[in-house]
Amino acid sequence: MNIIVVGCGRVGAELAYRLFQKGHKVTVIDQTAAAFTNLPNDFVGLTIEGEATNQNVLHRAGIESANGLAAVTKSDPLNAVVSHIARTVYGINNVVVRNYDPKLRDLLEIFNLQLVGSSSWGAQRLEELIAHVELRAVFSAGNGEVEIYEFSLPSAWDGRRLGELLPTTNCTPVSITRAGSAILPTLDTELKSNDIILVGATFDGIEAVRKQLQVKAEA
């Protein structure tokens, strides 16, 4: 794929290098030439100094033939404008934008952009890891609005039904691993001690599961 990365800070440089390592053709745009020093020495791609909203700069970056664009600068307004131009003017559907300031997320959502809020997502993951070690998030979608959680079933739930554990909304079963073999469970599946359970849930959904596990353990 031919991919343009706008912004060569730590996130942009890491993204560009990862894409390059996967064999993609990568072009990096930044308004400051010194930013390109963030790229590893073995990075082989095109670097262009200039304003990403400038038509000539975008033309030099090959936007007419690009398969995707990631706007990952520290400026949310700039990310929004560049991404909007890429989609509406150049017809690039594969556009991802970084949300740098959580307070400006609404600005990006107005444009209906696929966004990643590293601050919000990172804070949520840190909170989960430090405060809720019994329920581990193993996959995150979007900005963490929905995640896949893994946990080992406490012995107090042995013999109960999965539907008794999970809330009726904001949570859905994914799999149960028992004695090394995984199954696709239903809400009627009987649980066994030490089952490894995967569920997809929102934050509210997994909080409901956590409370259920705690209530049963204290009963």
CATH number at residue 141: 3.30.70.1450
Q: Is the pLDDT of residue 70 over 80?
A: yes
Residue 42, domain extent: 2-116
CATH code, domain carrying 102: 3.40.50.720
Residue where a domain stops, chosen among 81, 116, 151:
116
Q: Is the pLDDT of residue 217 over 60?
A: no
What pLDDT does residue 124 have? 65
Residues 139 and 214 reside in one and the same domain:
yes
| 3-class DSSP assignment, residue 112 | coil
Residue where a domain stops, chosen among 76, 100, 116:
116
Q: Please, what is the average pLDDT of the chain?
A: 89
Number of domains in the chain: 2
Residue with tokens 């809400």: 187
Residues 41 and 134 reside in one and the same domain:
no
Residues 174 and 209 reside in one and the same domain:
yes
CA distance 142 to 148: 12
Q: Is the pLDDT of residue 40 over 60?
A: yes
Calculate mean pLDDT across residues 51-59.
95
Residues 65 and 98 reside in one and the same domain:
yes
Report whether 171 contacts 194 (CB < 8 A).
no
What pLDDT does residue 95 have? 93
Q: Is the pLDDT of residue 218 over 60?
A: no
What pLDDT does residue 121 have? 67
Residues 33 and 76 reside in one and the same domain:
yes
Q: Is the pLDDT of residue 133 over 60?
A: no
CB-based burial, 72-82: b 16+ in 10 Å, e otherwise: bbebbebbbeb
Q: Is the pLDDT of residue 180 over 80?
A: yes
| 3-class DSSP assignment, residue 187 | coil
Confidence class of residue 145 from pLDDT cuts 50, 70 and 90? Answer: confident
DSSP state of 202: -
CB half-sphere exposure, 162, CA atoms < 13 A: 20
Residue 4, Cβ density class (10 Å: 0-12 exposed, 13-18 middle, ≥19 buried):
buried
What pLDDT does residue 103 have? 85
pTM, entire model:
0.64
Residues 6+ apart with CB under 8 A from 133: none
What pLDDT does residue 127 have? 65
| Tokens standing for residue 93 | 């559907």
CA distance 156 to 17: 48
What pLDDT does residue 117 have? 76
CA distance 18 to 14: 6
Residues 110 and 130 reside in one and the same domain:
no
What pLDDT does residue 166 have? 95
What pLDDT does residue 140 have? 82
Residues 62 and 168 reside in one and the same domain:
no
Residues 75 and 169 reside in one and the same domain:
no
Residues 41 and 58 reside in one and the same domain:
yes
Confidence class of residue 27 from pLDDT cuts 50, 70 and 90? Answer: very high
